[in-house]
Amino acid sequence: MYNSWLVTMPPFLVLAVALWSRNIIIAFFTGIVAASLIVANFNPIDSLLVIWDHVFNTITDIDNLYVYAFLILMSVVVSLLSFTGAATAFGDKIANHITSQRKAEQSTLLFSVLLFLDDYLNSLTVGYVMHPLTDKFKIPRVKLAFIIHSMAAPLAMIIPVSSWLAWIIRQIALSGISLDPSENPIILADPFYIYLKSVPYIFYSLLMIAITLFIINRRISFGPMAFHEQIAKTTGNLFGGKKPIGHILKRGAFMKDASLFDFIFPIATLIGCTIFGILYTGGYWILGGPHTLIETLQNTNIFPLLFYACSITLSLSIPLFLLHKKITVSQIPDIFSKGVQVMGLAIIMVFFAGIFATLLREDLKTGQYVAGLLTGHFSVQFLPFILFIVSVLIATCTGSSWGTMAIMTPFAIPFLLNLLHLDAQLDADSICLLFPCLGAVFSGSVAGDHLSPISETTIMASTSSSCYMMDHVYTQLPYGAIGLVSAGISFLIVGFIPCHNYWLSAGISLGTGLTISFISLILLNRMWKKKTR
């Protein structure tokens, strides 16, 4: 019924509105209205009924409710850590062991790794905690911002206990992947298992983490970043010769009594509860179940686990902080309120994106239509590369990695299946290029967000480091471009490697990207030093 060019209009409309308004929520709302009108044959009353049906189904779906609750509670955990100064206590502790510029940068990177749970927590906390230490060793603020920005989203994307997990899993589920046959999925599999299998193919995240570590350890410096580092070294000005700016965040009096334990306890509780919940509910054999580790992951329902892990973390951490007089009872409502405020926008985005994705997949079947048009016009081997490039463009223009995943994930999987002429309810491991294609969407989403001057993480990294935002954008661009090109080449290569060997495919492609990245960094560093002698 909807097999016409009209089914392609809502995604393009979302992109156009996002570019014009720089607001992904307005864009999704516009897309939902347009899609519902097409479904209802442009009858306004019927289109409202279509929207209401999807709204009702979305807000009554138990998995959706778990996702919303998890996002709120995760944000409250972040608020609690910030309020008590627990993260700051960690930074003060390691400051006693830093003796060089390299170690200061390595410590900043390590701190980012330890705050992998949430990119907002990472971006806002690391610069605030570490800038007194990096200032001591004349590290320019843009270098601090680069380290923070290059670790926050890439880590959150590839570590399966971050605040991104629920969003990623939900997008995979919305694309038609489920273990419940009654949902009539196009692929019969657990979305969490699909995500884990995609992680080795999230090339941009893996490459940027490696590139950042390589730059720090090998003292790589070229381009605009080298100018800032030279000015800092010779004059002590950490802002590229510009007027210094004070840090927007001030250390509160309540932070002075924070200890390292205050930071470790909530983080360890959250991670421990999540891992234990996955193993227990999935029936891992060590805990008395009948399943291997892979079977356990395939049988785990991650949505309630994340919710319960956050609930337990708060249930244990708040009484502990009350007992140690780190917070008072009267402060608890404020902690929760700030957590809800921070995550409110993300929940609205989750809600709208879920409705839009369902309209595209179940009502308009946009992916199937576009795949039918393009079948025979290019080789399926190029699909990972194409998905990567398109995702990069969307994320760069909109500044939203989450919004990009919501647009691209429900499209990519049906598109791949149609190009391969495969039927529904297949075994995921037998579908050629499934995991590289998902890795391409996720990589492109992170890459575009990382390089976009309008992304929230760009703003937060520069704010946390207290540097000029556009200086941060320009100085990190050459390093990010190397990761972007290397990831693109990796996705070109992966399409031509036989699909039957999972690790060989991921290893050769990623290895090629790493080799290109490291050689490029070494050559550009040498050329820059030769040029400036």
Give the tens place of pLDDT for each residue, 25-60: 788 889 899 989 988 888 889 889 999 998 898 888
Reported confidence tier of residue 445, pLDDT bands at 50, 70, 90: very high
Q: Which segments of 324-433 does DSSP mark as H helices, in order?
A: 332-358, 366-374, 383-398, 401-419
| Confidence check: pLDDT of 496 > 80 | yes
Give the tens place of pLDDT for each residue, 301-354: 777 888 898 899 999 999 998 888 888 888 888 888 877 876 776 678 778 877
509 token code pair: 């492609």
- Dist. CA 175–CA 414, nearest whole Å: 7
- Dist. CA 258–CA 255, nearest whole Å: 5
Query: What pLDDT is recorded for position 435?
Result: 92
Reported confidence tier of residue 86, pLDDT bands at 50, 70, 90: confident
Name, in order, each residue with C-beta under 8 angstroms of 494's C-beta and a sequence gap of 6 or more.
201, 384, 433, 436, 505, 506, 508, 509
If you average pLDDT over each of 65-74, 102-111, 120-129, 179-188, which comes out highest?
A: 102-111
Give the tens place of pLDDT for each residue, 238-296: 887 888 876 544 444 445 566 778 878 888 898 888 888 888 888 888 888 888 776 77
- Dist. CA 406–CA 173, nearest whole Å: 11
Stretch 173-195: mean pLDDT: 81
Stretch 98-104: mean pLDDT: 86
Please report, for residues 95, 130, 247, the alpha-carbon distance to residue 90 in angstroms, rounded to integers and kept in the order given: 9, 10, 19
- Dist. CA 458–CA 460, nearest whole Å: 6
Query: What pLDDT is recorded for position 444?
Result: 94
Name, in order, each residue with C-beta under 8 angstroms of 481's C-beta and a sequence gap of 6 or more.
451
475 token code pair: 């100085």
If you average pLDDT over each of 102-116, 347-361, 378-392, 515-529, which comes out highest?
A: 515-529
In three state form, how does the secondary structure of 176-205 look?
A: CEECCHHHCCCEECCHHHHHHHHHHHCHHH
Query: What pLDDT is recorded for position 372?
Result: 59
If you average pLDDT over each of 221-235, 325-339, 452-466, which comes out highest?
A: 221-235
Provide the residue count of the chain. 533
**Contact criterion met (CB below 8 Å) for 375 and 430:** no
Query: What pLDDT is recorded for position 257?
Result: 66
Q: Which amino acid is at 417?
A: L
Please report, for residues 212, 227, 375, 465, 533, the alpha-carbon distance to residue 233 in angstroms, rounded to integers and kept in the order given: 20, 10, 57, 18, 16
Closest-CA residue to 312 (of 265, 357, 372): 265
| Confidence check: pLDDT of 375 > 60 | no
- Dist. CA 323–CA 343, nearest whole Å: 28
Name, in order, each residue with C-beta under 8 angstroms of 338's C-beta and a sequence gap of 6 or more.
79, 83
Query: What pLDDT is recorded for position 319?
Result: 93
Name, in order, each residue with C-beta under 8 angstroms of 469's C-beta and a sequence gap of 6 or more.
453, 458, 459, 462, 463
Other beta carbons within 10 angstroms of residue 451's beta carbon come to 21
297 token code pair: 């992951």
Give the tens place of pLDDT for each residue, 104-160: 898 889 888 877 777 776 776 777 778 778 888 889 999 999 999 999 889 989 988
Reported confidence tier of residue 374, pLDDT bands at 50, 70, 90: low
- Dist. CA 502–CA 436, nearest whole Å: 10
Query: What pLDDT is recorded for position 250?
Result: 47
- Dist. CA 380–CA 415, nearest whole Å: 10
87 or 487: whose pLDDT is higher?
Answer: 487
Match 């967000």 to its residue by tokens.
Answer: 449
Stretch 5-16: mean pLDDT: 80
- Dist. CA 377–CA 382, nearest whole Å: 11
Give the tens place of pLDDT for each residue, 193-204: 889 999 999 999
